[in-house]
Amino acid sequence: MTEIETGAGSAVRASAPPRRPLRQLLAASVGNAVEWYDWYAYTFLATHIARQVFPSGSGDSLVPLLSTFAVFAVGFFMRPVGGLLMGAIADRRGRRTALTVTILLMGGSSLLVGLTPAYASVGVLSPVVLVAARLLQGLSVGGEFAASTTFLVESAGPGRRGLFSSFQYVSTTIGQLAASGLAALLVARLSEEAMNGWGWRVPFLLGAVLGLAGFWVRRGAEETLAHRPAEAPRPGLFDALRHHPRASLLIAGITAGGTLAYYTWTSYLPTYAELETGIAKRDALLAGTLSLAFFALLQPVGGLLSDRFGRKPCLLFFGLGFALLVVPLLRALDGSFGSLLLVQGAGMVLLTGFTSVSAAVNAEVFPARVRAAGIGFPYSLTVALFGGTAPYIGTLLKELGRPGLFPWYVAVLCLCSSAVYLRLPERAHEPLDR
């Protein structure tokens, strides 16, 4: 162990990476997959939830869907709070403690979604319960990214931070894949009446059980936060923002284009294709499931490339690629299963430039003392502003008769993030502050 100086001038022992990195990888990945399974089940079942929880207005079938996506966005706005609070717990009490709290929160909120009563039975209490559950899920997910990002990257050995970083989205995608696959299976096997009545609840009730399993796995993980002397001051809730404002802004700039593209491609695109081209829901869900499997396989490749050649080339591949190609890609959708699958696959290749290195880039920006809270708040706030609102903005533009503006919105924001990537210091081959 070696001594390093914190921002407050106190000496802190820097720990080596954990002795069992593969076990650490499993602990982070299993729990993260469960977290994101619960989170994304809502997205894939949005149209069924809409019919049960929100009354239609003025005979317009898009009104319940807009309300459901509005709740989707509301959940995102709790993510900065979760990132700040759980990040502070991770910096003060340890990464493992924060990770066990977040997965218990997610399991409980998933159970609440699954038990939400229908509007026809309890009236306005139905959307109130759903909103409360999504707020808790947002709190959990915001904290999950902050804690798991630091935990994963600090668990990596020399020259492997990019590879370990990529498993943030490998596990996230596995969770999405499970949610998408189960939704597709339920839609295929159940009648429309059964799906709208009770079928959509099944994934959330299962998610509550999986949350307990993830909690058990994480309890056996090794702590990665370096031991600090008893006299060393604990970081305050807003220390990262006060002492590292430029780093906080940098996280926001890195994330803005990536999160919009990510949520557009992995969550909203099946609904977008359904609204724009009339493709059957079953085909849209199947294309989404296949493209997610492809996306998960790409992540370690991107992480290894970033360890070899650096983070900036990967980020620029994503940012400039999306800025140039998102409009023609979305215009290529023609209502067929094949076109949707090809468009999603092409976007996943470009998106890997961001997702495979995101955790490593974020962790390399902040010192260990405030790393989790420093990442959690600006990252989650940016995701809330641009990622969480993507389905709502896309659906709203369709409602207003201007759906063609949405691809341009994605392109412009990706171009803005590319300008940040150009000026980003390259830290792939520098040691990580522990």
Q: State how far Cα 414 lies from the chain centre.
A: 17
Q: 44-53, 166-175, 228-237: lowest mean pLDDT where?
A: 228-237
Q: Which segment of 128-132, 304-308, 354-358, 419-423 scores lowest on mean pLDDT?
A: 128-132
The pTM of this model reads 0.81
Q: What is the dihedral of CA 151, 136, 262, 258, to 10 degrees?
A: -60
Residues 6+ apart with CB under 8 A from 374: 87, 240, 241, 244, 247, 248, 251, 365, 366
80-90 average pLDDT score: 89
Quickly state the pLDDT bin for 93 (edges 50, 70, 90): confident
pLDDT at position 434, please? 65
Separation of alpha carbons 255 and 135, rounded Å: 22
Average pLDDT over residues 279-288: 82
Nearest CA among 147, 145, 77, 140 for reference residue 110: 140
Tokens of 310: 């650096």
**Residue 63: pLDDT band with limits 50, 70, 90:** low
- Locate 374 and state its tokens: 């420093």
Mean pLDDT in residue range 20-24: 79
Q: CB of 306 within 8 A of CB of 428?
A: yes
- What secondary structure letter does DSSP report for 103? H
Query: Looking at residues 312-334, what average pLDDT do you find?
Result: 94
Q: Residue 62: pLDDT band by 50, 70, 90 thresholds?
A: low
Give 353-389 pLDDT, tens digit per residue.
Answer: 999 999 999 999 888 888 988 898 899 889 888 987 8
Q: Which helix (H) or strand (E) holds 313?
A: helix 311-331
- pLDDT above 90 for 72: no
